[in-house]
Structure 1
């Protein structure tokens, strides 16, 4: 499956062929680079340029697995893997998820793929992670909608995915009926992390899944009083001449426009707070305009090289954005923004290949990040960064994951419960 063409050969391809090549190579992270025991997505892999070593992190990432399942659907639709092979892989993944330790139905951020035991992310973050679980459930619903074969294997997969999704106790994460969701709960530490989930950020999908759940759903007021609150929800200010309805100053990292919208189709998606297509498009424009203006004079920034989001960087890991910019460009930031700014993103994509070549383009697609000012290029690939590249590029091309997710009856019910309008609701839209 590895593409043997040089970066310059790829850069010379027509748009559609180039996008397909990038999607397919990036998908290798979730197919060839998956956890050997379970088939679930590893949090990260490291390809050491100097030695050619491929080092696997032992931790399975639950949110990254959700994106990987969505990528697997793309792979079947595009013919990169057979439907039977995908069903076999999904069966292994399902078995691992069923043996995983869950906490009021939620999964931890990290787990061991073979044993199903939790791997703590930090001393108190050692159990249920509601946000990562919501990313996984988004992928499970897409797979349930796509693998609609009338076979014993497919029927069992659908039933098991439904069970995993139905058993998430979203309402438990209101701490007994408060008007906000909490990110973490632990049998060892209870609610000690006390992380209230307020917007605007990547957690729209978390509140949405919580409101759409057939069992254990939250009341809509939790969305309106919890997520739609806090200092970084309403904005209304302009940056580089672009007004942002919601979000922190200058919009925040670009994954805000990606993670929830791998499944939620932002086209025509509106509620009392925003038009989400307009919001996300403006967020991308602000992020790009900041890099073009380049107020701190970082090397490489410009119309052909932009995109700030959470990723590795020379000093560790950081949620990069215009207000938190250290010169690190994360390829996923622009590439997963393809639906919002096609011409601008294609320019960046060709630039990465033409100018940086094999420093950025490797066996699992583009490396996680690079910082020209410090001559630093990552050796790492992260599931939560690779997944949205495959998925959002496909959504730009065909709307595949958007159509699947928005077709789910629970999703339709959730849209209505939260008073969203969407073309996917047809004549009955609010």
Structure 2
């Protein structure tokens, strides 16, 4: 049982590292907004289950005593995650795909995902503020990436999910994705806000050409999930998930806006785990659904017209995941108080988008568990449950076989003696951005100063909580 390993988690005395995030620069002054806003059913994330993934069997990993401080452990994952986005990008200035970033490493050679690019653009801000790269290096990478995005094939301003990293052309006959385009645009707006100048001008152009009403099912007043030239539209964002950013971006558009109706139309099903706090949950109960939009948008202190506080909702969801893991400790080898946060990730049988915890679906039977735990689950909730997330990070850091070139590998399963050998862009991304926000709110400070985000939140009816 996981609890047998608890005695290995020893607190180190290591020197505390100074927070790497400094003031974000001259382009983060909050603009005037239409209303006061605080600056403070089954979606799958970026990689399909059918995509190649390494599933190597390995000897059981024995934890070793942790001699690093929490700050040192955070610094380890922060730098390693940044290195993934910096190093696994197309850096050939003559290539049509300059700046595109791999979906995963080392698997799926030659395939980039636009969601990974969105996280990677935002990672440039972390790189500058932490001193990993110079501002000039980051500006050059951001500008070149936006130039690539301007040239790529689009459908009404939306991007194909997976593309060839060298050519920028559609790969795997993948779909045009509303949510992955939204993740990309969050990164585009982030670097525009941070760097200003030509980067900001190009970011504005890329964002303002997106035809949001085109991706909306006007009859149901719900955004579609995907479009392919061969089959047309498919799926609806009809249940709560990671798509909050979609509504904010669409409402904030000065060129093709969508009003608040779709935001107030999707199903808000309330559930709870045990005696925990009730909250609006996602279909599979995957933890990433409570994290992704929050990586850029700081919902703290805000409520919508129905009184929903999405930040507190994610706190309750993260707490439910932790409580569930504690309850499952006697049943599973991996899952427990030091290994928690079930979310879409690689597993022993390939990529699995159904990993999650209750509540799920309408009857708590929609999530899937096989004792696989991804480090990104708990790390991505560090702004919601800092103590529990740091406890998990200490444990993960004690597992030498879980650590690689780019920090923690995607997942592990002690019941199967299985350890992922890939890292995935969206999982490294949510870890990186949330760690930066935990340190000093870096990404939140940049994004909450952006007029698009402020306008979108105001138009959706968000106000300061009383």
Which category of TM-score, normalised to the shorter sequence, fits these structures? 0.7 to 0.9
**Alignment of 1:23 onto 2:78:** yes
The alpha carbon displacement at 1:324 in A equals 1.3
Could you say which residue in structure 2 is the equivalent of 1:372?
A: 414
Question: Unaligned stretches of 5+ in structure 2?
Answer: 1-61, 93-97, 358-366
The alpha carbon displacement at 1:300 in A equals 2.5
Q: Which of 295, 319, 338 does residue 285 from structure 1 map onto?
A: 319
Counterparts in 2 of 1:101-180, with a 5 A limit?
A: 101-120=153-172, 122=174, 125=175, 128-148=176-196, 155-175=197-217, 178-180=220-222
The whole-number CA distance in structure 2 between the counterparts of 1:165 and 1:382 is 25
Secondary structure, aligned partner of 1:103:
coil
How many residue pairs get aligned? The number is: 389
The alpha carbon displacement at 1:143 in A equals 0.9
Could you say which residue in structure 1 is the equivalent of 2:229?
A: 187
The whole-number CA distance in structure 2 between the counterparts of 1:68 and 1:131 is 16
Secondary structure, aligned partner of 1:242:
coil
Could you say which residue in structure 1 is the equivalent of 2:251?
A: 211
CA contact (8 A) 1:131 1:183 kept: yes
Secondary structure, aligned partner of 1:312:
strand
The alpha carbon displacement at 1:71 in A equals 1.3
The whole-number CA distance in structure 2 between the counterparts of 1:243 and 1:364 is 35
Secondary structure, aligned partner of 1:302:
coil
The alpha carbon displacement at 1:301 in A equals 2.1
The whole-number CA distance in structure 2 between the counterparts of 1:296 and 1:8 is 19
Q: TM-score, normalised by structure 2?
A: 0.79
The whole-number CA distance in structure 1 between the counterparts of 2:279 and 2:413 is 30
The whole-number CA distance in structure 2 between the counterparts of 1:224 and 1:335 is 30
Could you say which residue in structure 1 is the equivalent of 2:373?
A: 329
Q: Deviations over 1:352-394 (max 9, x none)?
A: 122x21x111001110011110000000110010001110011
**Alignment of 1:348 onto 2:412:** no
**Alignment of 1:196 onto 2:232:** no
Q: Which of 293, 297, 306 does residue 260 from structure 1 map onto?
A: 293
The whole-number CA distance in structure 2 between the counterparts of 1:99 and 1:340 is 38
Q: Which of 135, 148, 157 does residue 83 from structure 1 map onto?
A: 135
Q: Deviations over 1:178-230 (max 9, x none)?
A: 51111222333222xx21112310111112211111111112112212x3x2x
The whole-number CA distance in structure 2 between the counterparts of 1:65 and 1:254 is 21
Q: Deviations over 1:18-77 (max 9, x none)?
A: 21221011111101122344222211112xxxxxxxx56211111111111111111101
Secondary structure, aligned partner of 1:12:
coil
User: Which structure ranks higher in relative contact order (CA pairs < 8 Å, sequence separation ≥ 6)?
Assistant: 2
RMSD: 2.1
Question: Unaligned stretches of 5+ in structure 1?
Answer: 1-6, 47-54, 149-154, 424-429
Could you say which residue in structure 2 is the equivalent of 1:152?
A: none
The whole-number CA distance in structure 2 between the counterparts of 1:307 and 1:391 is 17
The whole-number CA distance in structure 1 between the counterparts of 2:282 and 2:157 is 31
**Alignment of 1:57 onto 2:109:** yes
Secondary structure, aligned partner of 1:40:
coil
Q: TM-score, normalised by structure 1?
A: 0.86
CA contact (8 A) 2:101 2:165 kept: no
CA contact (8 A) 2:380 2:431 kept: yes
